[in-house]
Amino acid sequence: MSAVPIATNVQESRAPSPVLSTTIIPPCTAAVASYGPNGAAKTPEEIAAACHTPTTTAALVLKDGTILQGHSFGAEIKSISGECVFQTGMVGYPESLTDPSYRGQILVLTYPLIGNYGVPSHDELDPLLKDLPAYFESNQIHVAGLVVGQASAEFSHHLASSSLGDWLKREGIPALYGVDTRAITKRIREEGVMLGKLLFPAAVVGSSDPQAAVDDAETTALLPDYQNVAWVDPNATNLVAEVSCKEPKLYTPAPETAIKRPDGRTVRIVAVDIGMKYNQIRCFVKRGVELLVVPWDYDFLSLADEMDGLFLSNGPGDPTTITATIDRVRAALALKKFPIFGICLGHQVFALASGAETEKMKYGNRGQNIPCTDMLTSRCYITSQNHGYAVKANTLPANVKELFVNANDGSNEGIYHTELPYFSVQFHPESNPGPRDTEVLFDIFLNTVKRCLESGKIEGPVEFPGTEAAKARREQREQWEHELASDDSDKSGRIVDGRRIRKVLVLGSGGLSIGQAGEFDYSGSQAIKALKEEGIYTVLINPNIATIQTSKGLADKCYFLPVTPECVRKVILHERPDGIYCTFGGQTALNIGVKLREEFAGLNVQVLGTPIETIMVTEDRELFATAMSEINEKCAKSHAANSIEEAIVAANDIGYPLIIRAAYALGGLGSGFASNEEELVALCRKAFAASPQVLVERSMKGWKEI
């Protein structure tokens, strides 16, 4: 396992910054999209309709003295105070705003445009959970306030029933737009999360609280016409008591999906609601178990003989404030009667009950694209997160080990017991709207529950898929190191499949037009950087000097030659690389890999990354459709054709309209839509001029993804 970054996202690392003179930053001019459906230009009237008409100028005041003004588009009832945090997700504001973990916080969304897909109906109920809303994570908005760069009054989505602004007004939540959210985010990253206020003009919401005006005299002096309020630190209170359910409630699965115990009773999990998101309930019930949700201070140990597993949910605030929950979980660990799984705040509670400590992070982790490394398999997962506290890994007891580590800041993201079926994660595997890469953890937990029920014993750690395979890979690498040690004095590079790789040839993206296919240039340049970090000598073939890949000092050697079989073969014979990458140069490099696949062994060069056979399956339209069918992935009806005549037969079988896809084609050359036979023949003539095969497929143009 390679070393992880040293954690910097912790409160202890915070360095004092110089005191700045206070400046009131006025609202930004928020840009509005000037195009409409299908790219048509909007009229000035349509542009105006898409904007919120600024009526009230409010102010975001941070505890360090920063003041930024913005336009109000939410409720204008009163000024509020809370903890100011930022979140980097691009989508999912209905889910985020209703996440109980944000209780008492002023949420700053870094994505520049918010509100463009509106808000779903709160009246539409979940078909699985019956009496809970289908598209939200709780029954109310939990943030204290919302701050965005640009808010769209115009929205378009098949589920939307209202605008974001109207929803916030109905819920009584203040919100600002026209604020420089990048400046706020930078400030929080430098200084750490801090208390904030959203202040409104006294003429709109009433005069200031007299005590607040005295206690925060500086803000009162700078904003005399605004209603001032006292600073409120939500973490100083028991936020869990505010968001937890008040009475136990049982959720049952459909009879046909129910998982049964050996005695015939449906498997039951007790979930301690310390700020539970509705999607966690969905993740359990759709997997066929009963879920009994109980309040945070409920004596769930009294149910020990009736439960088959214990789940600790996510939630807001400082985990050390819920001592009653921690004490009961500590007793449950000692009881050794059922498996335990925790998420987010539940992860911290499990750690505290195990004897570890937690710490306040400098600015926390809140977003949907945060990488975490599995310490058992070395695999990296992209996760959704929302937390301001973390478990201190160096305080874990000997029988509790790290399961996941944050790849950005090195903070702890998961732990597991080495002898008993207990584990927890800091991130959100149930994340809605995503990513859902780690939702499999619910299956792992329930498989553990079933294993314990079948054996009648609560023993042994949780079994994580891939652990044995990863162990075998590590042992194989160690064996290769041992075998090569006797006649291999140069230990540079990396061992791959029994061979030490010291020099690698990277196929670039070829002669691309400026502004096109930048993703290939990016991926190739990142690959070269990663190879150099491993001490591997890199050789690049790329004729395009207007790329990052070909920048001076990036690759160790660069050949400005066409990416053709002849040139690649000559460079291999001259440079004698140990390995070659064909997957960082787009279609051009992929095609070279396919054409030279029979020659690589004779040239003594090893293909790294994606195998050529896999490339062929993904590029050959017929093989790809067959592979999708084998894993039961839904695909549009299609047929591969090697001639115009075959394409016409396929079209008559499928029916128009169609999409024609050319295989092995650069930039989709020869592909397009056909609504009749004449258009089909014209497209096929173009496609067969550049490709030996086309895929005739039912067109999904205009379909909605649901």
Q: 541 with 505: CB under 8 angstroms? A: yes
- Helices within 596-661 (DSSP H only): 612-619, 621-630, 644-654
Q: What is the dihedral of CA 206, 207, 210, 211, to 10 degrees?
A: 60
Instruction: Please tell me the distance from the alpha carbon of residue 233 to that of residue 64, in angstroms, as a whole number.
Output: 14
288: closest CA among 104, 507, 521, 447?
447
> Is 428 considered catalytic here?
yes
CA 684 to chain centre: 40
Instruction: Please tell me the distance from the alpha carbon of residue 338 to that of residue 460, in angstroms, as a whole number.
Output: 12
H or E element at residue 404: strand 400-406
315: closest CA among 190, 426, 187?
426
Options 76, 83, 290, 430, the catalytic residue: 430
- Hey, what are 88's tokens? 């980097």
In the numeric block, the tokens 């994505």 are attached to 111
Instruction: Please tell me the distance from the alpha carbon of residue 59 to that of residue 65, in angstroms, as a whole number.
Output: 12
**Residue 494: what are its φ and ψ, rounded to 5°?**
-130, 150
**Residue 520: what are its φ and ψ, rounded to 5°?**
-70, -40
334: closest CA among 210, 440, 422?
422
Instruction: Please tell me the distance from the alpha carbon of residue 291 to that of residue 199, in angstroms, as a whole number.
Output: 42
Options 191, 428, 619, 697, the catalytic residue: 428
**SS3 of 406, please?**
strand
Q: 3 with 45: CB under 8 angstroms? A: no
- Identify the bridge partners of residue 83 per DSSP, sorted by sequence position: 105, 195
Angle value at C-alpha 127, between 126 and 132, nearest 5 degrees: 30
> Is 83 considered catalytic here?
no
Please report how many Cα atoms fall inside a 13 Å half-sphere around the Cα of residue 557, on the Cβ side: 13
Positive or negative CA dihedral for 141, 146, 150, 151? positive
Please report how many Cα atoms fall inside a 13 Å half-sphere around the Cα of residue 470, on the Cβ side: 12
What is the SS3 string spanning 56-94?
CEEEEEECCCCEEEEEECCCCCCCEEEEEEEECCCCCHH
- Hey, what are 347's tokens? 């992860």
In the numeric block, the tokens 């020990």 are attached to 304
Please report how many Cα atoms fall inside a 13 Å half-sphere around the Cα of residue 4, on the Cβ side: 23
List all residues 6 or more positions away from 489 whose beta carbon is below 8 Å from its beta carbon: none
Options 28, 283, 344, 582, the catalytic residue: 344
* DSSP sequence for 542-569: ---SSSSTTSTTTSSEEE----SHHHHH
Q: 369 with 88: CB under 8 angstroms? A: yes
328: closest CA among 293, 344, 356, 352?
352
Q: 694 with 670: CB under 8 angstroms? A: yes
- Hey, what are 476's tokens? 């194989």
- Hey, what are 306's tokens? 């009736």
356: closest CA among 288, 304, 414?
414
List all residues 6 or more positions away from 123 whose beta carbon is below 8 Å from its beta carbon: 133
Q: 168 with 162: CB under 8 angstroms? A: no
523: closest CA among 503, 548, 499?
548
670: closest CA among 701, 640, 692?
692
> Is 677 considered catalytic here?
no
Would you name the residues annotated as active-site residues? 344, 428, 430
